[in-house]
A = this chain, B = another copy of it.
Amino acid sequence: MTSRSDLKEASLRRILTAGASRLRAEGLSGAAIAPVMQDAGLTHGAFYAHFNNKDELAAAAFRFALLDNRPRWMGQARKESWPGRLLRLGKRYLAMAHRDDLADSCALAALASDAARSNPGFKKVYEEELRKSLRAICNSPDEGRPIDPARLDDAIAFMALCVGGISLARAVDDPVFSEQILTVCRQAIQRMATPDNESTSNVEVPDHGKG
């Protein structure tokens, strides 16, 4: 029934899925071959039928993680203003659900520090995926055309705030403090997205009260 090439393809998919999860949960150096293969229902020996070395897995799994997640995040094309788009994406990104689901989270944030320490090969992959995500944020699916520069700048600042915000929120131990970080960053995106005194629906109101 299932030809060997189909089998291999399915195995590769399982390896990539497992690798993408472990990569985000345990980092570049943490995601070891044997556990990934075990997650995929295979033994460590089979690994080298699919990749030449661990670095290749890291690059492929990183790509896979974003290939898998990006469409889910961007959703269908819809009518929305540019600030409204950033607000909507930021609200979902800087959320507790995303913060707590590290293994299925945005790989750009989960591996930011790791990529900063990595070899140029992995940085190249990281850069490509970041560019694709920025393009997706800007809603410019046409890869041939350049992105509108003003929007690209907005998207870069947006991504930096998102990556930094969720990283800090994950790195602290106190859940109250962690939520505060997420909330403040969402509000910062609002201020960043709405150029001036425009009133926006669903505006989060800063609350400095004690209760």
Contacts and interface: CB of A to CB of B under 8 A. Distances in A.
A185 B168 contact: no
The listed residue with most B CB atoms (<10 A of its CB), out of A29, A115, A168, A192, is A168
A191 interface: yes
Interface string A97-134: 00000100000111111111110100110110011000
B127 A167 contact: no
A89 interface: no
Main secondary structure of the interface of A (DSSP, over half): helix
A170 B116 CA distance: 5
Interface size class of A (residues with CB under 8 A): 35 or more
Interface in A159-198: 159-165, 167-168, 170-174, 177, 180-181, 184-185, 187-188, 191-192, 196-197
A5 B90 CA distance: 53
B110 A208 contact: no
A130 B168 contact: yes
A30 to B, nearest CB: 6
Interface stretch (A6-14, A75-83, A137-145, A150-158): A150-158
Contacts of A149: 208
Contacts of A111: 113, 171
B156 A160 contact: no
A171 B116 contact: yes
Contacts of A30: 29, 117
A26 interface: yes
A117 B26 contact: yes
8 smallest CB-CB distances across A and B, nearest first, come from A164-B164, A116-B170, A115-B171, A113-B113, A160-B164, A157-B188, A149-B208, A163-B164
5 contacts: A27-B114, A27-B117, A112-B113, A160-B161, A196-B197
